[in-house]
Amino acid sequence: MLDFIKRHEGLWLFTHSPSVMIAAIVALAILIGAVFAPWIAPVDPYDLSSFSLMDGLLPPVWEEFGTSKFPLGTDDQGRDMISSILYGARLSLIIGVCAMAIASILGVGLGLAAGYIGGRFDAVVMRIADIQLALPAILTALLIDGIARGILPPELRQDMRVVVLTLAIALSLWVNFARTARASTFVQMNKEYVQAAMMQGQHPLRIMFVHILPNILGPLLVIMTVDLASAILLEATLSFLGIGLPADSPSLGTLIRIGMQFLLSGEWWILWIPTLFLIALVVSINVLGDFLRDVFNPRLR
Amino acid sequence: MVFFLTKRLIQSVFVMLAVAFLAFSLFRYVGDPVSQMTGVETSVEDRERLREDLGLNDPFVYQFVRFTGDLLKGDFGYSYRTRQPVAEMIASRIPATLELGLVALMISLLVGIPAGVYTALRPRGFATQTILMLTLVGVSIPTFVIGIMLIFFFGVQLGWLPTFGRGGTVSVGGWETSFLTIDGWRSLILPALTLGVYQLTLTMRLVRAEMMDVMQSDYIRFATARGVPMGRMYFRHALSNTMVPVITIIGLQFGGVIAFSIVTESVFQWPGMGLLFLESIRFVDIPVMGVYLVVIAFFFVLVNLIVDLLYVLIDPRLRISDVS
């Protein structure tokens, strides 16, 4: 798929579009900050001994009363904001990437199989996909979360939060992958190389994953970026609604939820800094996704 | 046409049955209904009696049929949390959510369609590029952040509009409406904007894509060659041909509006169904969760049936297809 010319055309487009380059830099910076949070962050926000109430509600360093010890200020508990945000972004990204990975494996697997096998299997998978597509992702995720709460014993609920949340998000996002994979597989099925592989009597799994899959990766890559952004947004929304991660291991959404309490009282940094961070992350991923779509689908340009 | 609509009607019944089944499975298998309804001090015999009274020992199919029958009769059971009838709880919340959703949908269509047409006709213009960039940002900003921003600017900084609740409502035949008081409208503006912005970007992008597709088609080129006036061509020839997908998206958006109303209602403490659903998830109040799903599915099916009717009205080909 990524033939020589296209790769270079993509590179050319990349270097000639400032918004895409800025997006890439922002996304990369946040990614590095999140991955290396334990080494970069001044303190560990999960460690209760690392902060004290005495430092509570300090503004960022450029405001009056701000100190260089807490560059982005502190929340009401005296937690360093920049550390909370880095660790929060870390959690958001971990959940987002895992959910997207699970969704893509599930979706691409089912979509490929549906396109290859066709017939009744295809009909069943696609009906399920249709039904789920009618339900918006956030409703599906909320529902799965609610069911998990009902099924899990209370003592496990806290420990399993991250897993439940990831699965809930993954199960609400797989449909896009399945539909795209299926549609692209249909196109490939008519190509000679697939016919030839079939006539050679190669194993269907081999044809699906070794022959067809590499040829449909382009559109899937676009879906992956778009869905990564959706996954991060979904996680943030669920956490904001108080259904996601609890306040002792906050993701970006939880931080915004906490910050909402200070909307009226003037400690703007507790709310707006995590919010800005989340928006920067999602916007840059979406811009990159749009760019990839342009590269792989020149007709829309 | 009759055939088409009948087919859709039958499909809708099946969708409703599937959702009823989901609600039933939730009620029956997520947690034990009996232990939810009884306290620690209830004796084993009492529990068994309750189990028998609720019919939980009956065969599966029988239970499901009875559950569906109860739903049809409007008997939705009792909430685990408040011990009130679920039907009453939901019914009192429906007006708030529907009015919010309706206004949001209006914003989405009245702004989205003209913006979509404009950006399609002037793809290289400065305004178009700005609008497109804004929509990309709009899609990326989560609904709850848009809500917080609106609260911050219009509620806190400027102090123009109320930031929570419905304000004054008037009861019209049991339907609590906020359309009849100024206070109600003022309370409605921010939540409806919050809910509408995301839908607006979707409408605009869809109309734009459809419009651009149509503008490249042969009949438009032919119409241009024939010298059809521009305005007539854009609106009579091009726009009317984009209406079928646009109407489809309205049907689909209704689901989105309902779902995102959960978020919006949470931000603005809007006393609608979404807030109730959220509380029921937090407290694992299964009956309310199940009934919420059934009610939402019902509205969804209803809207899609109306959309099907509109198809027939808009697209003459569907009227003829039965004859052939």
List the domain range (segments joined by +) for residue A265. 13-300
Substitution target in B145, B253, B260 with the highest count of A β-carbons within 10 Å is B145
pLDDT tens sequence across B115-135: 888 888 887 888 888 888 888
pLDDT tens sequence across A15-35: 777 778 888 888 888 888 888
The distance between the two most distant Cα atoms of chain A, rounded to a whole number of Å, is 76
A89 band by pLDDT with thresholds 50, 70 and 90: confident
What is the rounded average pLDDT for all residues in chain B? 81
The yes-or-no verdict on residue A104 having pLDDT over 50 is: yes
pLDDT at position A98 is: 93
CB–CB of B142 and A135 under 8 A? no
Least confident of A44-48, A113-117, B186-190: A44-48
At CA A224, angle to CA A222 and CA A226, rounded to 5? 70
Radius of gyration of chain B (CA): 24
List the domain range (segments joined by +) for residue B255. 86-282
The yes-or-no verdict on residue A301 having pLDDT over 70 is: no
pLDDT at position A289 is: 83
Eight-state DSSP code of residue B78? B
pLDDT tens sequence across A190-208: 888 888 888 888 888 888 8
Q: Which long-range contacts (CB under 8 A, 24 or more apart) does B164-169 make?
A: B164/B268, B164/B269, B164/B270, B165/B268, B165/B269, B165/B270, B165/B271, B166/B96, B166/B270, B166/B271
Tokens 């931000």 correspond to what residue? B267
What span, in angstroms and rounded, lies between the C-alpha atoms of B227 and A294? 34
pLDDT at position A69 is: 67
Q: Which residue has the higher pLDDT, A44 or B203?
A: B203
Chain A residues at the B interface, defined by Cβ less than 8 Å, are: 19, 131, 134-136, 138-139, 142-143, 145-147, 149-151, 229, 233, 236-237, 240-243, 256, 260, 263-264, 271, 275, 278-279, 282-283, 285-287, 290
What torsion, rounded to 10 degrees, do the Cα atoms A208, A212, A217, A223 define? -60
pLDDT tens sequence across B166-212: 777 777 777 777 777 777 788 888 899 888 888 888 888 888 888 88
How large is the average pLDDT for residues A240-249? 77
Using a CB-CB cut-off of 8 Å, the residues of chain A touching B277 are 142
What torsion, rounded to 10 degrees, do the Cα atoms A230, A231, A237, A238 define? 150
Least confident of A141-145, B16-20, B246-250: B246-250
Name the pTM for this structure.
0.81
From the CA of A294, how many Å to the nearest CA of chain B?
14
Q: Is residue B105 assigned to a domain? A: yes
Q: Is residue B211 assigned to a domain? A: yes
The yes-or-no verdict on residue B105 having pLDDT over 50 is: yes
ipTM confidence score: 0.76
Closest CB to B286 among A150, A241, A243: A150
CB–CB of A135 and B152 under 8 A? no
Contact status of B289 with chain A (Cβ, < 8 Å): yes
How large is the average pLDDT for residues A105-120? 88
CATH assignment of the domain containing B128: 1.10.3720.10
Q: Is residue A4 assigned to a domain? A: no
Using a CB-CB cut-off of 8 Å, the residues of chain A touching B136 are 283, 286-287, 290
The secondary structure element, H or E, covering residue A81 is helix A81-117
Whether the Cβ atoms of residue B307 and residue B251 lie closer than 8 Å to each other: yes
Q: Is residue B310 assigned to a domain? A: no
Q: Is residue A2 assigned to a domain? A: no
Closest CB to A243 among B141, B142, B281: B281
pLDDT at position A85 is: 85
How large is the average pLDDT for residues B62-82? 80
CB–CB of B142 and A240 under 8 A? yes
Classified as helix, coil or strand, B310 is helix
The yes-or-no verdict on residue A105 having pLDDT over 90 is: yes
| Number of domains chain B is built from | 1
Q: Is residue B10 assigned to a domain? A: no
Q: Which distant-in-sequence residues (6+ apart) come within 8 Å of B282 by Cβ?
A: A242, A243
Q: Is residue B155 assigned to a domain? A: yes
A2 band by pLDDT with thresholds 50, 70 and 90: low
pLDDT at position A4 is: 53
Whether the Cβ atoms of residue B280 and residue B241 lie closer than 8 Å to each other: no
pLDDT at position A99 is: 92
pLDDT at position A103 is: 93
pLDDT tens sequence across A262-287: 877 777 777 888 888 888 888 888 88
Using a CB-CB cut-off of 8 Å, the residues of chain B touching A19 are 133
Tokens 């009717």 correspond to what residue? B309
Other Cβ atoms closer than 10 A to B120: 23
B324 band by pLDDT with thresholds 50, 70 and 90: very low
Written as six digits, the tokens of B195 are 């809910």
| Number of domains chain A is built from | 1
Q: Which residue has the higher pLDDT, B10 or A45?
A: B10
Closest to A270 (Cα-Cα) out of A127, A33, A118, A74: A74
Q: Is residue B174 assigned to a domain? A: yes
pLDDT at position B233 is: 76
The yes-or-no verdict on residue A298 having pLDDT over 80 is: no
Q: Is residue A153 assigned to a domain? A: yes
User: What one-character-per-residue DSSP string does B183-233 give?
Assistant: HHHHHHHHHHHHHHHHHHHHHHHHHHHHHHHHHTSHHHHHHHHHT--HHHI
CATH assignment of the domain containing A133: 1.10.3720.10
The yes-or-no verdict on residue A39 having pLDDT over 70 is: yes
Q: Is residue B29 assigned to a domain? A: no
pLDDT tens sequence across B19-50: 888 888 887 777 777 777 777 777 778 778 87
pLDDT at position B323 is: 44
The yes-or-no verdict on residue B251 having pLDDT over 60 is: yes
Residue A74: φ, ψ to 5°: -135, 160
Substitution target in B80, B210, B281, B294 with the highest count of A β-carbons within 10 Å is B281
Eight-state DSSP code of residue A2? -
Q: Is residue A8 assigned to a domain? A: no
**Residue type for position A123:** A
Whether the Cβ atoms of residue A231 and residue A223 lie closer than 8 Å to each other: no
What ranges in chain B are assigned the alpha helix state H?
Answer: 2-29, 33-37, 44-53, 60-73, 86-121, 126-140, 143-150, 182-215, 218-226, 230-232, 243-268, 273-282, 286-314, 316-320
Residue A46: φ, ψ to 5°: -80, -15
Eight-state DSSP code of residue B170? E
